[in-house]
Chain A
Amino acid sequence: MEFFQGFLNMSGASFAQHMVNGVSLGSLYALIAIGYTMVYGILLMINFAHGDIVMMACYFAYFGITIFHVPWYFTFIGVIVATALLGAIIERMAYRPLRDAPKNSVLISAIGASFLLENLANYLFSGRPMSFPDIPLFSQNIAIGSIKIQAISMVIPVVTIISLLVLLHIVNHTKTGMAMRAVSKDYEIARVMGINIDNVISMTFIIGSALAAIGAIMWGIRYPGITPYLGVMPGLKCFIAAVIGGIGNIKGAVLGGFILGLGEILIVAFFPDLSGYRDAFAFIVLIIILFYRPTGILGERTTEKV
């Protein structure tokens, strides 16, 4: 009975606060999941290093604002550019040489890239946690009735939706987007038809990494502790979010992010005794989805061609 105590005793105000927290976390996951799903959709590979790109972006922001004292609006633009560049470099060095290699090699390379980034950050910036710069405009607290929310938590869903719309526009209504879709549908034919595969893939990584940078900035403002391993769990969870929504499907990534974020918060809200198992929740949902609906909620049902 005590196990269900949290469930039965929750007040309306608490529940509303939990919902707000869940949406806040969910939109953050969604933002990072979009980057994951983009790369997977085009290249059919999991970019294990995506979470670590988020981590590096946080460090870039730290250096820009705290060390070099550049105002935040300029720094953020700089961070997005720098991260996009980082993503392109990683693609060029770790993935492009293996484009014709068996699938496992690319996977190992991605794992290696992730590992390398983490160790590099550990070496360059030392393992000691640093504080993401505080920007009062975003970190101030707003109260709506008895519900408390940080200003940034209201900004994040907006940024997520905008990013979603911009991305959908690029993919569906521009030539670059059309090229990306062509490459994702059939790599060989696209190449034969004259599409410059290298450029398309680089562009995909650049856009994906830029999104990661935006996600990193939002993440850093919301959760200011920066360590070299900060990207590990979010990376895994956001990938799971993308899978839940349908890997390759941008709208699905957003949906998956919200489901995961809300789910995590509500599980702990209703069953506080399970708070230690919270990370397991994401993985359990992953297993269930892969078992019953592997293409995800919004994914297309594909059959494997023999």
Chain B
Amino acid sequence: MKKMMSVILASALAVGLLTGCGGDTKKDDAKSNVIKIGVFLPLTGDNAAGGELELRGIKLANKLHPEVLGKKVELVIADNKSDKAEAASVAARLIERDKVKVLLGSYGSSLSMAAGNIVKNSKVPAIGTSCTNPQVTANNDFYFRACFIDPFQGTVMANYAFKNGARKVAIIQEVSNDYAVGLAKFFKDAFIKLAGPDSIIEVANYQTGDKDFSAILTNIKAMHPDAIFAPGNFTESALLIKQARQLGIKAPFLGGDTWETQEFINVGGADVEGVAFSTAFDREKATTAEAKKFLDEYVKEYKGEPSALSALAYDAYLIAIDGIKRANSTDSVKIRDAIATTKDMEGVTGKTTLDKNGDPIKGAVIKTVRDGKFKYIDFVDVK
């Protein structure tokens, strides 16, 4: 009996699952007064914190701009589990099954790159929210983004360090994180140009998930750097900075936009006071009318200060809507062409113009941590 049951069960399951996967196949363009925008973000896994913040931004944008071309905009949200294979799968499903016209996402450049081929082949435009790796849009006419790219970010931080008197800098990079490695390289190149070939005194590596940095920090302490550039995920960075302060390292820490999450302050505590990092948005630099709307709604809805991630995601949505409006059509290729010519679109993070690679030409904000909160210090515009 058991054997028969198992064989029948197995074959039934196999046939059923393979042909019937993704049950909701039938509802598509039948209703022509709805236009679908796909959202693929990491809602679980390592990058869940960032994905969650971005989802807030997109949902808020959808609430404040629910229609375009007389049609209602429907968000189809999918979780890519911070995993590349999932990202590719999910992007394919959103495009093929749910027939989205534009794709938004993702947090995490490697996840965006995994979807790169799919959007290219299906000719559906995608707008990255906070993925800063230049590779996402390079060689891909269908991928755009709302945020600045790492070469710019690295240069901004290098300039900031130099401006504030640093001449010898140590780099501690999360070598298993593509974002950190890319950012470290651009910082290094820019800083060497400013301060000479010996100005980067050490490049130390650690892996994602590492907890103990005492060895590399003790080594660096002996070299007396003026500043330490430590791009990496916020958990590891917070621990790193804590241990540095415990060892008596007083040099200021510099980082990138991944530090702007509440968890960074929670884990880092008093030790992360005074660090500086680059990011895309701050209330003090929020000059556009859209930004004011965003700020008010965000505080009302989520009761807290918005992070740059939410602001960028909001802008990604706006770029999509703006593109659809200017294309005056629901054809993905026409929408893509319209998005490519985005110029001076008013968004939360400023007026957005996309260059020939699909990257926005916009400046960066430098922030610090003071009294347990993120505070604005400076704004660096792109030359």
Contacts and interface: CB of A to CB of B under 8 A. Distances in A.
19 contacts: A18-B215, A21-B214, A24-B214, A25-B214, A127-B44, A127-B48, A128-B263, A129-B234, A141-B248, A143-B248, A222-B211, A224-B242, A230-B209, A264-B212, A265-B215, A268-B216, A269-B218, A276-B205, A279-B207
Nearest to B214: A21
A225 B216 contact: no
Given A127-B44, A127-B46, A143-B248, A269 B235 contact: no
A70 B362 CA distance: 48
Interface in A85-123: 122-123
Contacts of B196: none
B267 A275 contact: no
B376 to A, nearest CB: 25
Given A150-B246, A275-B206, A276-B207, A130 B215 contact: no
A10 B222 contact: yes
A128 B215 contact: no
B218 A233 contact: no
B89 interface: no
A232 B215 contact: no
Nearest to B219: A272
Interface string A216-253: 00000011110101101100000000000000000000
B230 to A, nearest CB: 13
A141 B269 CA distance: 14
Contacts, number: 109
Contacts of B114: none
Interface string A175-204: 000000000000000000000000000000
Contacts of A131: 263, 266-267, 269
Contact of A14 (B176, B212, B218, B239): B218
Interface of A: 6, 10-11, 13-14, 17-18, 21, 24-25, 122-123, 126-131, 134, 141, 143, 148, 150, 222-225, 227, 229-230, 232-233, 264-266, 268-269, 272, 275-276, 278-279
Contact of A272 (B202, B210, B234): B202
A274 to B, nearest CB: 9
A233 B48 contact: no
B168 to A, nearest CB: 16
Nearest to A129: B235
A227 B46 CA distance: 9
Nearest to A219: B211
Nearest to B220: A272
B247 A148 contact: yes
B114 to A, nearest CB: 19
Interface string B180-219: 0000000000000000000000101111011110111011
Nearest to A66: B266
A225 B211 contact: yes
Interface string B34-53: 00000000001110110010
Interface string B224-253: 000000000011101100100011100000
B75 interface: no
Contacts of B326: none
A215 to B, nearest CB: 13
A52 to B, nearest CB: 14
Interface in B1-53: 44-46, 48-49, 52
A141 B215 contact: no
Given A127-B44, A278-B207, A148 B263 contact: no
A182 B172 CA distance: 51
A172 B240 CA distance: 42
A11 B239 contact: no
Given A21-B218, A269-B218, 6 more contacts: A11-B222, A18-B215, A126-B44, A131-B266, A227-B209, A265-B214
A211 B236 CA distance: 26
Contacts of A130: 263, 266-267
B214 to A, nearest CB: 4
A128 B219 CA distance: 31
A295 to B, nearest CB: 29
B334 interface: no
B283 interface: no
The 3 closest A-B pairs by CB, nearest first: A276-B205, A268-B215, A21-B214
A44 B47 CA distance: 38
Contact of B49 (A128, A134, A266): A128
Nearest to B215: A268
A225 B45 CA distance: 15
B177 to A, nearest CB: 12
Nearest to A269: B215
Contacts of B333: none
Contacts of A25: 212, 214
A15 to B, nearest CB: 9
Contacts of A126: 44, 48
B247 A225 contact: no
Contacts of B82: 127
Most chain A beta-carbon neighbours within 10 Å: one of B176, B206, B215? B215
B221 interface: yes
